[in-house]
Structure 1
Amino acid sequence: MDVFKRCSLTLLAWAALHGAVQAEPYVDVLDLPAQPSALAASSALRDVTRAGTRMVAVGPRGHILYSDDHGSHWQQARVPVSADLNAVSFPTPQLGWAVGNDGVILHSRDGGLSWEKQLDGRVLGEQVLAYYQARAQAGGDQWASWVSEGERLVAEGADKPLLDVWFSDPLQGYAVGVFNLLLHTVDGGQHWTPWLERSDNPQGLHLNGLASVDGALYISGEQGLLLKLSADGKRFQRLSTPYAGTLFGVTGKPGVLLAYGLRGHVLRSSDGGSQWQTIKTDLNTSITAASLDASGRFWLSSQAGDLLQSSDDGASFSAVAQAQRAPVSGAAFDSGAELVLVGERGIRTLALEQPQQP
């Protein structure tokens, strides 16, 4: 051993013996505010959406960024947690919600500039258990299995990833996550009610995405799972699809419903999900994000950075050439008709060619 290594080890041993080398005290990510980072806009992000004319993006370590100049510059919001965030929804320009790992639900009242915590995984399991215990005490053997599910959630601790969130207005919203985790609120998130028993998902498959299309609300999930909220708004009913692989999301417009997922799979329905056709994409990578522009064209993005476009209501898709490619996990059009993409390498903004007017 050379003299420098020997001296270094001796100094470390002396410091440890005298208490000079101490580990930083552990702080739970649910108690640690997101740390400012000059590299946040070029680091991993998972979802992006519009809040009026503002763009808001969320990602790991509690990072939430916003831009008021069509994605040219991004600023970091004030966030009370460092948990990884997976999705964001703004039903109005000012009111927004974000969800993530550790059962986190955040709420913003100022267009995404600052956030407050509404729920986390440390109390979520206890709330689910208490809800189903109350139902069981009121009568009915059908609640016993849901009480057991609540007990499992409590035993797991805070680890309860929420994967998507959607609000129809400032009061009513839904959040979904792993193992059939489904929550509903009618008071803007002041209270979240477990809806685990209200989905046709007996296998407890992961619920990946929420989307509203033509007045109907859909949930996409594992193993071809696609759920549609019933007309009375009380239950998510399973739709039959021709694909048994994971579906990451749904998009659409009046008369057209698209579901997309693993290995470039895209399904199309023109009757609200009763019948489907498989759309050829020539991709073997997962389609992870979808957008609809102001002219009604569909845009799909993949985990490998592919960009597809459809001008015929999703009946066919063609590849779009790009100067640069990067993995995409979320996409949205800003108020200036530019496509904002987020993924493992941060944020990209694409100015796309507009269709010619007839």
Structure 2
Amino acid sequence: MNALPKPRRARFFPTFLAACLGTLSTGLALSAGDASAQGADAAAFVPRPAVRSAFAERSMILDATRAGTRLIAVGERGVVLLSDDEGAHWRQAGKVPVDATLTAVSFTDARQGWAVGHLGVILHSTDGGETWSVQRIDPVEDRPLFAVAFTDARNGVAVGLWSLMLRTRDGGHTWEEAELPPPPGDTRADANLMSAFGDTQGHLYIAGERGLVLRSLDGGESWSYHPTGYRGTFWSGTALADGTLIVGGLRGSVYRSTDGGEHWQRVDTGSQSSVTDLVAFDGRVHAVGLDGVSLDSRDGGASFAVARRADRLSLTAAVVTAGGVLHFSRAGLVR
């Protein structure tokens, strides 16, 4: 999801994540004196649409979600996959205006949804993912967005590289950059923000580097930090219906909070494989990760059972279906 990451952080990203980060545009290397040239480059930039391919199901998928009865998955080169039969069959979306890697997707109902990714792109769909339009793109700076979450069809946030946070109050017609306060003990906010999710109360949460978890009680207007005691990177998070919060990331690390993020407890997963995605349903928590690992909890995330694929295929995303949990990977859909 990026390139030219700060050298002190590059070691934290595994192979699959490095592959999806790509390289930042040369605009990052331009000096302040080249501002006019940057503006001209941005004005002249015309994104290429995603290519339709018979092999789209084999593309690396980085996130998946539900839009009513439809399943939607996004990934490299602007691939958007749709399924209307709980994942039995998939087809490529009809119109995706960019071929940039898409890292995350979120729908508020069966029709309204957003996808984010490289080039700082934010795409919007009003027809359940069939077609998409560009709401935002920044080809000059190219700070990738890693996650997007909406509390309703008008209010949402998108987060990404070096504490980039964008906020909308009008369904994405306009996006404004929000400046986060520095975390405790730091002079500025510059950590990569990897995951954004909400709970049933309309509260928003962000998980990221250095074990950071942030919480907003006002739809993303203001944020507070909630220490977890962990110093590694969280890549994913989810909230259960009862308000329990689960975040996971490097080296099989999973942390759990039952009081809205005020206090956190580390959960022994029995795995050292990094967690790449978490989903919650019916009181269960399911996680997927590198090395073909999946974790399943039937007690609200207090404990997990571990399974590993024989081929050790790194898993990148999961989505809940009527028949269970469907997995995605670096090699696309996992049958």
Is the 1:100–1:161 Cα contact (8 Å) retained in structure 2?
yes
1:228-243 to structure 2, matched below 5 A, reads 228-231=215-218, 234-243=221-230
Q: CA deviation at 1:36?
A: 0.9
Query: Radius of gyration: which is bigger?
Result: 1
Instruction: Specify the alignment match of 1:219 in structure 2.
Output: 206
1:160-175 to structure 2, matched below 5 A, reads 160-175=143-158
SS in 2 for 1:41: helix
Q: 2:273 aligned to 285, 289, 292, which one?
A: 285
State the Cα deviation string for residues 285-343 of structure 1 (Å, max 9, x = none).
Answer: 110111123x3111111122211111111111111465765222211102x24312222
The question of 1:91 aligning with 2:91 is answered no
Counterpart Cα distance in 1 of 2:52 and 2:275: 31
Is the 1:174–1:183 Cα contact (8 Å) retained in structure 2?
yes
Counterpart Cα distance in 2 of 1:225 and 1:214: 21
1:172-191 to structure 2, matched below 5 A, reads 172-191=155-174
The question of 1:76 aligning with 2:92 is answered yes
TM-score (norm 1): 0.76
Instruction: Describe the shift of the 1:322–1:328 C-alpha distance in structure 2 as closer, same or farther (beyond 3 A).
Output: closer
Q: Percent identity?
A: 40
Instruction: Specify the alignment match of 1:345 in structure 2.
Output: 331
SS in 2 for 1:291: strand
Q: CA deviation at 1:203?
A: 3.6
AA in 2 matched with 1:210: A
Q: 1:196 aligned to 179, 182, 192, which one?
A: 179
SS in 2 for 1:312: coil
Is the 2:271–2:306 Cα contact (8 Å) retained in structure 1?
no
TM-score (norm 2): 0.81
Is the 1:290–1:298 Cα contact (8 Å) retained in structure 2?
yes
Instruction: Specify the alignment match of 2:284 in structure 1.
Output: 297
Instruction: Specify the alignment match of 2:65 in structure 1.
Output: 49
The question of 1:117 aligning with 2:104 is answered no
Instruction: Specify the alignment match of 1:67 in structure 2.
Output: 83
AA in 2 matched with 1:121: D
Q: CA deviation at 1:245?
A: 0.4
Q: What is the number of residues matched between the two proteins?
A: 286
Is the 2:154–2:170 Cα contact (8 Å) retained in structure 1?
yes
AA in 1 matched with 2:292: G
Is the 1:29–1:83 Cα contact (8 Å) retained in structure 2?
no
Counterpart Cα distance in 1 of 2:219 and 2:175: 20
Structure 2 unpaired stretches of 5+: 1-43
Structure 1 unpaired stretches of 5+: 1-27, 123-156, 350-358
AA in 1 matched with 2:315: V
Q: CA deviation at 1:98?
A: 0.3
For the aligned residues, what is the CA RMSD? 1.9
SS in 2 for 1:284: coil
